[in-house]
Structure 1
């Protein structure tokens, strides 16, 4: 990818933000870091580490993401880009939703941000389960690394998001009652089957 190509990902008129970061003159914005990490297929932590090298900053122990931390960060980035079209809920919102649904205070805005950056060496199971609840995905999403399982969950979540947007915009008003009810039932049953399969320890 050339510097010129990066403009479409950072949504800027020119590649100057990337050029300035690579030359160690001005760091990327948080939004640009997230967008470019997805475009380069790396974690935010890996991209930020590269940026630090451009600024001549020495690496510090613990800055590089662990294997588990990098996996969780990658999965969160996949949710952001594939299920939410690049605009996921804020870290604060996810922490609040996860805690509310889990019934206990296991997440904070800082913890969610650190998980997204791959900075947590050994993510706690309770935190990942609460995060799964916040995203409305089954906990198995964070517990395994099977591409087919991930694809199924992400695809289903994306459909659910689109359906929610349709309802909010009143798009279903153009459909007769019976087909609209069938569509809602189909999407609802699909999600219930996935969640039920995970809860019983069976493949979805």
Structure 2
């Protein structure tokens, strides 16, 4: 994985791990439970993507940086008391940024494996959302993508933006920041203004 893509991946891992650890704290888990929730949140989507496209072993079994970042995020979340007073807001912000970064990583990795644009888009959405699905299931909650939330839709839009910028020939170092901002912005705007998909009850 190219250096910029790799470091972007680690950034996404850390943000998703933070969201998982804070969610665990909200559910009154101990520090080990927080770590496990942080880990499944930050590696769940990438692991499923790797299995689906035949990349083995998954990155988490090769690079210790993923587990290390999950542990660091757990420690930060455990001791960062100011965040405790803003649980939902903190989870939403970290999750939105992770969503944006991971959709880029998923699309790019799929493209490197020779997948078509539509398949790469699907892998981007899987990478971005499946960790959050595991996080919510472990907390005995209905996952965000199955609720009245613009979540997978934000990831899908982000994937389309990434593909559009990629097809314009702009470098990954430009594409990832733009796509991340767009994806996270859509997700946070939906939360802030209570936006829902057409046909869903409010």
The answer to whether the superposition gives a TM-score over 0.5 is no
Larger radius of gyration: 1
| Larger relative helix fraction | 2
TM-score, normalised with respect to structure 1:
0.29
TM-score, normalised with respect to structure 2:
0.29
